[in-house]
Amino acid sequence: MDAVTIIGEGQATVHSSPSEVFEFVLDLERYRQADHKIGRVGDIDRNGDTGTVQFSGRLRGIPGPAGTYPFTVTGSRLAIGSPTAGAARWFLDFDGTFDCEATDHGTVVTHREAFRFKRPWRWIAVPVLRRWLQADTADEMIRFAALVDRHR
């Protein structure tokens, strides 16, 4: 990834299975309790292990444009891609993943978000959001761990 990509990553160990983790995350109304970057939630269209989710974002509390984001689920990973529709596709490219690894102590969930802002927004967004995103994603995983097992 290039120099204008900002990345946040966090990790948590939970008692939920990978499939329970993915179901919780894809229920964006519930998941936004952990991820404060999710604003208004729209339609979720799922066809087996693929689909799209519609939502608007919030970065540092500032509302952002809505987009339709594709996702794919495998046995150990949920991957969310760049918006394919909506105003957000003119604003940024995005990659988000939830990787799950079963251990003797539970499921280790590693969540990573990578934002690549398009011109002209990158000149403002990158310096303002770089450190914040890392801290926010780590905090998100703390909130996630407390919520996901409660919803089993």
| Chain position carrying tokens 């529709």 | 85
Residue 151: CB partners within 8 Å, gap ≥ 6? 24, 30
pLDDT at residue 124, rounded to an integer: 85
| Nearest CA among 10, 19, 21 for reference residue 149 | 21
* pLDDT tens by residue, 58-71: 999 889 999 999 99
pLDDT of residue 3: 54
**For residue 32, pLDDT beyond 60:** yes
Q: Which residue has the tokens 């690549």?
A: 116
pLDDT for residue 98 is more than 90: yes
Q: How confident is residue 125, by pLDDT bands cut at 50, 70 and 90?
A: confident
DSSP β-ladder status, 5-14 and 38-47: unpaired
Q: How confident is the model at residue 4 (pLDDT cuts 50, 70, 90)?
A: confident
CA 67 to chain centre: 13
Query: Cβ(19)–Cβ(151) under 8 Å?
Result: no
State the pLDDT at residue 113.
97
**Torsions phi, psi of 71, nearest 5?**
-140, 155
Which residues, including other chains, have CB under 8 Å from residue 14's CB and lie 6 or more apart? Answer: 21, 106, 107, 109, 144, 145, 148, 149
Q: Which of 65, 11, 17 is nearest to 40 (CA)?
A: 65
Please tell me whether the overall predicted TM-score, pTM, comes out greater than 0.85 for this model: yes
66-95 pLDDT, tens digit each: 999 999 999 999 999 999 999 999 999 999
Measured in degrees and rounded to the nearest 5, phi and psi for residue 124 equal: -95, -45
